[in-house]
Amino acid sequence: MQIALISTDYPPLRTSAAVQLRDLAQQIAGLGHHPVVIVPSPMSGKPWMLERMDGIEVLRLAAPPTRSPSFARRAIAEMWLPFAMLRSMRRSPFASAKWDLLVWYSPPVFFGPLVAVLRRKCRAKTYLILRDIFPEWALDLGLINRGPVFFLFKAVAAIQYAIADVIGVQTPSNLAYLSSWASPSRRIEVLHNWLRITPDIGCSIALEKTALAGRKIFVYIGNMGVAQGLDIFLELIERSLDRTDIGFVFVGRGSEFARLQQEKASRGLKNTLFFDEIDSCEIPGLLAQCHVGLVALHPDHKTHNIPGKFVSYVQYGVPVLARVNAGTDLQRLIEDEQVGKVYVGDSVSELKRLAVELVDDAGQLRAMAERGRKLGRSMFSPIAAARQIVASAEAASATPGE
């Protein structure tokens, strides 16, 4: 099949979405199909650029940048995104391509018009990889009110739901949220996050050369934004200054990154280091130096998801300390599989107790690490995701009346 994979993220970007799309494209190609990754790029002077990365064709289409610390500016840019990409695509070698399957990754929620046009031209099947329930999570966190902006975004999200033959959500709880979209011709299913296991080739961050050398390390990798609610971990870090055998490392980017660094300085958190994001190939080398992986989801976050950082931790045998909202699928997964500890309240003292229990029991850490590796291999495999997406598309093609 000729398959278009549409996303805002692809290497050389270092986001979890970029890594996931790369792994998915390579696995789909390994199944004998022809994937083409289609991504926006802030190019000047030309509407498109075609390149080959690790054996995968990548079509970069001229579009305005969407990465802004301002929520409003980012939303405006993303709303214009599909139209800019469509205009650029019409001038590319793929203007008349006959796609068999259109797969797009959300967030953002704004690819609907682009996918709708491509679908209409070639009657392709469509698969939506839905990782965030937006705008609901933004409402939960107080980023927007239940007013005109919220209902505008809901209408935009409804477009992409309506044109998807299959929607792959992260967790079972998301199935209930989208149940009204299911029909004989539209299916909702759980598509777990995925991550390819890569060898440890070392890391540019060498903790043995820092002030944290010899300590038991709690590490946080990935986005540091409002949705993560990381302030409670700052409180944990401050309460842990008396434990000279414990250190904390934050690696990534995000709207809260600079503020968190300032908080570190103002509070005198000498047990903590911050680093800019690193290439995904360095993640195994980083995690090999660490003992516990931190996961944070804002307590007001009512929608369910399994963060990419959690997948990275378990894949590479790093037990988890998670602070999440009560009753989430992530809480149940960690507790059922015994790959870490979960806290759902606001008590820093209780969170510290759980953290200390983890690092002070070496046998428990080893057992959790091994269970995590097994969970990663069984649940978060990229080849399983690729096979599921292709099989779902083929099943949709065989649906009577389609």
pLDDT digits (tens, 9 = 90+) for 22-61: 999 999 999 999 999 999 998 878 999 999 999 999 999 9
- Count the Cβ atoms, other than its own, within 10 Å of residue 332: 15
Instruction: Give the per-residue pLDDT at 307.
Output: 87
pLDDT digits (tens, 9 = 90+) for 242-260: 999 999 999 999 889 999 9
User: Could you give the residue ranges of the DSSP H alpha helices within 289-342?
Assistant: 308-315, 329-337
Domains and CATH numbers, the chain: 2-194+381-397 (3.40.50.2000), 207-379 (3.40.50.2000)
Q: Which residues lie closer than 8 Å to 142 by C-beta, 6 or more apart?
A: 300
Instruction: Give the per-residue pLDDT at 398.
Output: 63
Which regions in the chain score pLDDT beneath 50?
A: 400-402
- d(CA 252, CA 137) in angstroms, rounded, equals 21
Instruction: Give the per-residue pLDDT at 71.
Output: 63
Instruction: Give the per-residue pLDDT at 182.
Output: 78
The tokens of 57 are what? Answer: 């064709």
With DSSP H G I counted as helix, E B as strand and the rest as coil, what are the percentages for the chain, rounded to 5?
45, 20, 35
Are the C-beta atoms of 287 and 200 separated by less than 8 Å? no
Instruction: Give the per-residue pLDDT at 68.
Output: 62
- Beta strand segments in 287-348, E: 292-296, 320-323, 340-343
Instruction: Give the per-residue pLDDT at 186.
Output: 84
Entry pTM: 0.86
pLDDT digits (tens, 9 = 90+) for 163-178: 999 999 998 888 888 8
Average pLDDT over all residues of the chain: 91
**Shortest CA distance to 110 belongs to which of 79, 148, 77?**
79
Instruction: Give the per-residue pLDDT at 209.
Output: 97
Instruction: Give the per-residue pLDDT at 173.
Output: 85
The 3-state secondary structure of 28-96 reads: HHHCCCEEEEEEEECCCCCCEEEEEECCEEEEEEECCCCCCCCHHHHHHHHHHHHHHHHHHHCCCCCCC
Q: Which phi-psi region, left, alpha or beta, contains residue 36 (left: φ > 0; alpha: ψ -120 to 50)? A: beta
Instruction: Give the per-residue pLDDT at 368.
Output: 98
pLDDT digits (tens, 9 = 90+) for 354-387: 999 999 999 999 999 999 999 999 999 999 999 9
